[in-house]
Chain A
Amino acid sequence: MPVVRIPTPLRPHAGGVDKLDLAGSTVKELFDRLGEAHPALRERLFDGEELRRFVNVYVNDEDIRYLEDLETPVAPGDEVSIIPAVAGG
């Protein structure tokens, strides 16, 4: 299964863990599963069906905006990281 990495400050909303193994073949499907298990976490990531402005998502080393956004395919073993966008510079 693909694994989703949770930013440390949001772990309280993910049952205290730093990664979740989730089933799905696209990023969107992973986040749907994540929402079923941890609705409070999904609410923080999404504004309706869209990712919030300051949330970046990577599949392995690539930002999903350079791939197919939420439709980006994921395979078992892929690592999906949620990264706060407000950093650097």
Chain B
Amino acid sequence: MGAEPLEFEGRETDPVSAERVLGLKCRLCGKQYPKEALNFCTDDFGPLEVAYDYEAIARTFSREAVATRPQTMWRYWDLLPIDGEPTVGRHVGRTPLIRADRLAKALGVGELYIKNDAVNHPSLSFKDRVVAVALSKAVEFGFQTVGCASTGNLAGSVAANAAAAGLDAYVLIPDGLEQGKVLGAMIHGARVVAIEGNYDHVNRLCSQIAFRFGWGFVNVNLRPFYAEGSKSMGFEIAEDLGWRVPDHVVAPMAGGSLIGKIHKAFKELEILGALENPVKTRLHGAQATGCNPISATVKSGASKVKPVKNPNTIAKSLAIGDPADGYFASQLIRDTGGWSDDVDDDSIIDAMRLLAETEGIWAETAGGVTLAVTRKLIEDGRIDRDESIVVCIAGNGLKTQEPLLERMARPTVIKPSLEAFEALLERDAAPALATV
């Protein structure tokens, strides 16, 4: 525990705080497990999820209490599954929710917001939220070695947060990720291992490694705790809308976890009586056409998610062919009256540029996916132009430069003279003059 006082009001003195988190529970059969590093039910392989006592939570959680707490994701500690104070990632979250009027105008809608996790601390993606919870939990459990299977953003987040916490990190990625993602993990001293194959191969190997070596893999054996961290994005959206939930949320989907946790966050606030309006939010999921197992499931109405064998998209962070939560994400989208669609690489780039040119936000390729799908859903009438929309931007454009470098013009080079600059202005103006 650090020297800085954290002002987690009520935490240290609250005798029931440890009972807020009851344990883990299988989403299929309901079997209960203690708080342990285990991600699946040993009876039926169903996902384990954290179980809370909301009555205990209601004793400490209120809008007023939240208002007095630090401007980080930990202002919602009552609803996150750690028992002590957070020891890792204490400055994560509380990213801006931006009213995006220029973008709204371009899309022809009235009320549009960008939740900008491209500027999350410390590693510039929403993954810092899940990692903060997972590694705080890893410390509680006594793990010294941690790890992850990553499509890129998680790599940097685990590496950075583990470094700050003094933990040893093994970061496994598919070979061929963007430079920014790879360097962003290596700079922190993590052991970065690139696997010949795609993300699903990486993931399978990590499942074997985590249990064999008894390490804390954030998205394997620590996954039930890890995944809960994404709820903080939903809490922040609601708080920043004046404790209201929007009509629509569009979220990127890789494993399909984030989208479900945003909805869960809204429902928990509703249970606690913290919302001004009922949760009728439609959850929409965004994928790339080159890796669209979840959107294909939603569009076809199938009950099983068909995995994509060879993902091929510039949105590498979303390139999971066999998504762990694909089934639940597709169910959620249907149940909330949302939809899911996918977009090609050119549409992704166009949307990245549109966001940058209208709102000054440089999102990564996955952000391009999310905005391009939002645009499609609006054009197809699946999102009503008069209703409120939140678009979740989960990662930063600095980390996915390669596909832009291939497509964008280079800066014009001139001599350091006024004549050269005037000549440039003339050239810039020429086409415009010609059309007057």
Chain A residues close to B by CB (< 8 Å): 5, 7-10, 13, 44-45, 47, 52-56, 58, 61, 63, 65-66, 81, 83-89
| Majority SS at the chain B contact face | loop
* Interface membership of chain B positions 243-275, coded 1 if the CB is closer than 8 angstroms to chain A and 0 otherwise: 000000000001111000000000000000000
Interfacial chain B residues near A45, Cβ < 8 Å: 45
In the bound complex, CA of A63 to CA of B201 (Å)? 9
B322 touches A85 (CB 8 A): yes
Which of A9, A56, A87: most chain B Cβ within 10 A?
Answer: A87
Residue among B202, B212, B324 making CB contact with A85, cutoff 8 Å:
B324
A9 touches B206 (CB 8 A): no
A65 touches B324 (CB 8 A): no
Interfacial chain A residues near B46, Cβ < 8 Å: 54, 86
Q: Does B299 contact A (CB under 8 A)?
A: no
A87 touches B207 (CB 8 A): yes
Interfacial chain B residues near A47, Cβ < 8 Å: 44
Interfacial chain A residues near B199, Cβ < 8 Å: 88
* Interface membership of chain B positions 204-241, coded 1 if the CB is closer than 8 angstroms to chain A and 0 otherwise: 10111001100000011001000000000000000000
Interfacial chain B residues near A83, Cβ < 8 Å: 204, 207-208
Q: Does B43 contact A (CB under 8 A)?
A: yes
**6 A-B pairs whose Cβ atoms sit less than 8 Å apart in the complex:** A9-B38, A9-B40, A63-B307, A87-B206, A88-B255, A89-B256
Determine the residue in chain A with the shortest Cβ distance to B148. A88
State how many angstroms separate the Cβ of A79 from the closest Cβ of chain B: 11
B219 touches A87 (CB 8 A): yes
In the bound complex, CA of A64 to CA of B318 (Å)? 23
In the bound complex, CA of A63 to CA of B199 (Å)? 13
A86 touches B40 (CB 8 A): yes
State how many angstroms separate the Cβ of A56 from the closest Cβ of chain B: 7
Interfacial chain A residues near B48, Cβ < 8 Å: 86
State how many angstroms separate the Cβ of B26 from the closest Cβ of chain A: 10
State how many angstroms separate the Cβ of B134 from the closest Cβ of chain A: 12
Determine the residue in chain B with the shortest Cβ distance to A5. B208
Given A81-B204, A86-B223: A54 and B44 within 8 A (CB)? Answer: yes
A85 touches B45 (CB 8 A): yes
In the bound complex, CA of A83 to CA of B204 (Å)? 7
Interfacial chain B residues near A55, Cβ < 8 Å: 45
State how many angstroms separate the Cβ of B340 from the closest Cβ of chain A: 16
Interfacial chain A residues near B50, Cβ < 8 Å: none
Q: With A52-B44, A53-B45, A89-B324 given, name 14 new contacts (CB 8 A).
A: A44-B45, A54-B44, A56-B204, A61-B197, A63-B307, A63-B322, A81-B204, A86-B39, A86-B45, A86-B48, A87-B149, A87-B203, A87-B223, A89-B254
B324 touches A81 (CB 8 A): no
Interfacial chain A residues near B40, Cβ < 8 Å: 9, 54, 84, 86
Determine the residue in chain A with the shortest Cβ distance to B303. A53
In the bound complex, CA of A53 to CA of B223 (Å)? 18
